[in-house]
Structure 1
């Protein structure tokens, strides 16, 4: 981007980058002058890509023109497309697609929801090929496919049109029809059966409750952002933190304006105070260089094992040596995950010092996966070991060395807890 600004210093253009997408902005008083500037800027970008051995996909390039002419145009419906008047040859489009979102003149997002509801339904139709005539997929597998593959498609960009005070009944009906067909596909029921009953038997949450749940999670996710995140610049005074307020920020609005504006940003500003937990996006212990493995690398040792060798003599010798040390605490961990969903997983830990058993405890880990239950068992064992008097060394025995590494890894990774 620095090279672009050096080469395009005289073109009066700006470059924005969105991960793997980019936008070139150009301003001029004449449409022809704007085209010339964009053409030259695009050539600079192309040559830079070639110099860095990158590929610029021309077939994905889109061109948009915005006009300030408002001779016979309603400003409230303005999306940047100028009317077809004597001042400009541009004609307004019915829908505008930008970064995967579909905008219309009234910002109803009906086309956006229709497009992604249809895409989700066609994805679900394509999944019928996964089962053959002899042995098809079970309803449990079909539900898993729908929840993991189809729902994320249908809910893409829901924050644009689902928020407190939005008129979204039409958009909601399209998603309800899509889920109705999904319930028919999962259960193999008749088309005349009741929608609510099919969704209940298929284990599908109703669309309005699913959207409400996602909207609540979106509100709470804002609390995990850093204090200087650009999104804070749009919030009110309570969430502004260290960010500079934007010109359209809620912090600069009058109470009368705040009562009229309805958007996801306003909903976040109103509801985030209901969150009772606190988050530290950049906690000192999670900073590179301050991690446990960075500061105490010489005090942590992982005894990797070769599954092809018999380690019992080696482990017996190791345990005997640890029991002879009065400052060493031994901890053994294990877990149990039942096959039935009716029961919860359990984590267990036993603490020894010498030949004396100090603690033996079991914890309910909830309905989690096997790695989560084992990770909880390791955490419980260490928590109990550090409470013991004269404890300077802790030796933990586990059957998952990968989770032992994760127990001391504060980086971002998936976890069920």
Structure 2
């Protein structure tokens, strides 16, 4: 005998794994989510939903997958690193240590702005951002090749070691941890202090 609809809802609320919820699905258990989102009216003004909205430098989509923002960060980071080729020449260009400093101080903040929102760190054990992190990691590889003047066939680990750069997955971890510490150390008068304390507990 399969689960009743009431028992199924209780199991879902308790975050039970799908394989533990036995029984056949029926049309009665389905719920409909309106897509696209309906418009709302505030003080006589109709506000219509959009597929994409930029807020505080981040691109939010209706599903909160942040794929558009990741694509924007990839495009922006690629353009910045492409400027490396104009100044990072082995004989007449800027020294590698200065190019490394330029990458860390200018490019990394551009591509990892809001990383704790649109990326899930690999150390969290959750899925969802491996593909995006891999794509963004190509930017660091390009920068490392320009910094070290290495061959294109050089392995990523060797490029990062000689360029004195953290592996990109660890760089994402570092950025997310820094943002978490920044939020956790907000003064008590800050509007987000109570929310940060509640999330910590």
Instruction: Tell me how far 1:135 sits from its aligned partner.
Output: 1.5
Q: Give yes or no for the alignment of 1:198 onto 2:159.
A: yes
Q: Is residue 120–residue 154 contact of structure 1 (8 Å, CA) maintained in 2?
A: yes
Q: Give yes or no for the alignment of 1:208 onto 2:179.
A: no
In the alignment, the residues of structure 1 paired with residue 135 and residue 47 of structure 2 have an alpha-carbon distance, to the nearest angstrom, of 32
In the alignment, the residues of structure 2 paired with residue 91 and residue 223 of structure 1 have an alpha-carbon distance, to the nearest angstrom, of 36
Q: Which has the higher contact order (CA 8 A, sep 6+)?
A: 2
Instruction: Tell me how far 1:93 sits from its aligned partner.
Output: 4.2
Counterpart position of 2:59: 102
- SS for the counterpart of 1:230 is coil
Q: For residues 81 and 178 of structure 1, do their structure 2 counterparts lie closer, same or farther at Cα, with a shift above 3 Å needed?
A: farther
Picking from 113, 137, 140, the partner of 1:156 is 113
Counterpart position of 1:188: 149
Counterpart position of 2:76: 119
In the alignment, the residues of structure 2 paired with residue 103 and residue 169 of structure 1 have an alpha-carbon distance, to the nearest angstrom, of 19
In the alignment, the residues of structure 2 paired with residue 216 and residue 194 of structure 1 have an alpha-carbon distance, to the nearest angstrom, of 27
In the alignment, the residues of structure 2 paired with residue 234 and residue 129 of structure 1 have an alpha-carbon distance, to the nearest angstrom, of 46
Q: Is residue 139–residue 187 contact of structure 1 (8 Å, CA) maintained in 2?
A: yes
Calculate the TM-score normalised by the size of structure 1.
0.35
- SS for the counterpart of 1:153 is helix
Picking from 221, 238, 243, the partner of 2:182 is 221
Counterpart position of 1:285: none
Q: Is residue 184–residue 191 contact of structure 1 (8 Å, CA) maintained in 2?
A: yes
Computing the radius of gyration over CA atoms, which structure comes out larger, 1 or 2? 1
Instruction: Tell me how far 1:108 sits from its aligned partner.
Output: 1.3
Calculate the TM-score normalised by the size of structure 2.
0.68
Instruction: Tell me how far 1:158 sits from its aligned partner.
Output: 0.7
In the alignment, the residues of structure 2 paired with residue 178 and residue 223 of structure 1 have an alpha-carbon distance, to the nearest angstrom, of 30
Q: Is residue 109–residue 161 contact of structure 1 (8 Å, CA) maintained in 2?
A: yes
Instruction: Tell me how far 1:224 sits from its aligned partner.
Output: 2.8
CA deviation vs aligned residue, 1:207-241 (integer Å, no higher than 9, x gap): 11111112222222234321121112323xxx2xx
Q: For residues 228 and 91 of structure 1, do their structure 2 counterparts lie closer, same or farther at Cα, with a shift above 3 Å needed?
A: closer
Instruction: Tell me how far 1:131 sits from its aligned partner.
Output: 5.4
Q: Give yes or no for the alignment of 1:74 onto 2:21.
A: no
Q: Give yes or no for the alignment of 1:143 onto 2:100.
A: yes
The Cα RMSD (Å) is 3.0
Structure with greater strand share of residues: 1
In the alignment, the residues of structure 2 paired with residue 121 and residue 162 of structure 1 have an alpha-carbon distance, to the nearest angstrom, of 18
Instruction: Tell me how far 1:198 sits from its aligned partner.
Output: 1.0
Q: How many residues align?
A: 161
Instruction: Tell me how far 1:81 sits from its aligned partner.
Output: 6.4
- SS for the counterpart of 1:204 is coil
